[in-house]
Homo-oligomer: A and B are copies of this chain.
Amino acid sequence: MKVRNLLGERLKTVSEDCQIESQALMIRGGYMKNVASGIYSFFPPTQRISKKIQKILREEMDRIDGQEVLFPVVMPASLWELSGRYTGIGSEMCRFTDRSDNKLVLGMTHEEAAVHLAQNTAKSYTQYPFMIYQIQTKFRDEPRARGGLIRVREFTMKDAYSFHTSQEDLEKYYERAYEAYNRIFKRCGLKNFVSVKSDSGMMGGKISHEYMSLTDIGEDTIVICDCGYRSNLEVADSIITNEEQPLEKLKKVPTPGQKTIEAVCSFLGSDEKHSCKAVIYQENLTDDYVIVFIRGDLEVNETKLRNHLKKEIHPATAITENGIVAGYCGPYGIKTKATIVYDKSLDGARNLVAGGNEIDVHFSGLNIERDIGKVDYVDVAKAKEGGICPVCGKRSLKISRGIEIGNIFQLGDKYTKSMGMTYLDANNTERYPIMGCYGIGVGRLIASVCQESHDDYGPIWPMSIAPWQVEVCNLRVSDQSVNDCAEGLVKDLESRGVEVLYDDREVRPGFMFADADLFGVPVRVVVSPKNCEKGVVEVSARDKSFKTEFPIKDAAKEITNLVNKMLEEFNI
């Protein structure tokens, strides 16, 4: 491919409002063009990267006995009504009607379609387990598309669905999928990624893992311990210990104007660890109040609270319930119809400062068991940097940020049961298959690799997914011998199966190299009058790991060897 014929342009700056480097570089480098919020068209280099990633995805899915199928983008609402998700999912699902007023949806995930396809074709236990996968376009009407390909509305996804006759069999397969995912990300050249326990969200099921590319610009927060423990903050257990202390007397104390726990503790000279604060939410549907009492130094983890309540909630907007005195709400003597949740951090906490349920009044010396009685404690607190690891028990938790690049879920029988998919087991008893599902977004993976592997001048694509393997820069087209050398080299490389991007434009070297940086091709070959006189070509790595010269006559062979050696790293 000649640069002069390649569609797309390289820019010095971006006019678009870019939040992160990968986005800015991929716009500047002519990789994509925004069509609407979260919707992009892709220029040839991205499509070339995408096809290489898709090849890796297919190979790894086939390796774990996957069978490629294709589900539709547009599905009848009836399919989603069966699983209950037609109403269960909010406005991130696009709904519309066809010319005959039939309700349709755009697929944002394909559990229903997978069950529909497999249903009635796997009626005996002898046909299990099996896994089907597709690579297909999906659409999610994200309210906040951002970061280029990090959070889009339309995207290409590899999604896989496995079917099993037992939870044990699913778990065995889940392990294989887990390993396949590790191989996929490594083969795509991603280095700094981890798998973490995660919340299953709208997918249902209990056990799930997310693969996270660790980066400061990540939207997700991850809790990590050296012992190997990893979890999305959303579901990370919070382990809190409280010191034994002699019980003090419960005392009413005036706290005029001290409405926050920080203010109260500072006013009373007490540690926030010895306080109990109230965080107030409302249920989305009813606006009913939910009061969470939690140790003053901790934050509420809303995902855990939501999972505990099994209801959607939002922070309370205005407090109008009798019994809740905003700024002075506490567990002692409160009279309210609100749901009350006690976080586990209060279990065993002694001599607490807490709201007095009267304006300008708090209590000190509150001991919940003594003063209130037995309550149920629930873990709804956010894990903290330096907190206790729930696995090794050390105070060694670290908080990182990451981009979710893939996920795997154990779904149970949520979909097979609701859609009535059954098989006959060895005893001729009808049973619902157990499912797992496994997703990777191609575009987000490309952006994550770019985010991890770039410099100020452009992406540094790993050899395994680079749009081209070698870029040949011809610095003097008008010089016959330079031109002959460059053209000969390109032909020779191509005949050896090397993917070459060839720049023979009559532009300044600086201009050509700036473009080459944006193409991010891993190996660059410079053919110039000076080199030609010396009888060599100059070969360097985009990541600056090497720079060398090869005699012109051996160049094609040497460069081919180099490319193959660089590819070896990804043979896992």
Chain A interface (Cβ within 8 Å of chain B)? 1, 4-9, 30, 33, 35-37, 39-44, 46-48, 50-51, 65, 67-76, 78-79, 91-92, 94-96, 98-99, 102, 104, 106, 113, 116-118, 120-122, 126-127, 130, 132, 134, 136-137, 139, 141, 143, 153-154, 156
Contact = CB atoms under 8 A, between A and B. Distances in A.
Contacts of A48: 68
A139 B73 contact: yes
A70 B43 CA distance: 7
A70 B99 contact: no
Nearest to A136: B137
A173 to B, nearest CB: 14
Nearest to A156: B70
Contact of A68 (B44, B70, B91): B44
Q: Which 4 A-B pairs have the closest CB atoms?
A: A96-B96, A36-B76, A42-B70, A91-B99
B70 A116 contact: no
B70 A46 contact: yes
A4 to B, nearest CB: 8
Nearest to A46: B70
A44 B67 contact: yes
A99 to B, nearest CB: 4
**Copy count, this protein chain:** 2
Nearest to A129: B5
16 contacts: A5-B67, A6-B67, A7-B67, A7-B69, A7-B121, A9-B120, A35-B76, A41-B69, A41-B70, A43-B69, A72-B154, A73-B73, A74-B94, A74-B139, A95-B96, A99-B143
Most chain B CB neighbours (cut-off 10 Å) among A37, A72, A75, A106 = A72
A118 B72 contact: no
Most chain B CB neighbours (cut-off 10 Å) among A7, A91, A113 = A7
A71 B40 CA distance: 7
A98 B141 CA distance: 7
B72 A47 contact: no
A48 B62 CA distance: 13
Given A7-B118, A44-B67, A121-B8, A35 B99 contact: no
B94 A5 contact: no
A358 to B, nearest CB: 43
B75 A36 contact: yes
Contacts of A95: 96
A36 B1 CA distance: 42
B71 A41 contact: yes
Given A5-B65, A30-B121, A113 B35 contact: yes
A2 to B, nearest CB: 10
B39 A72 contact: yes
Given A120-B9, A121-B8, A42 B69 contact: yes
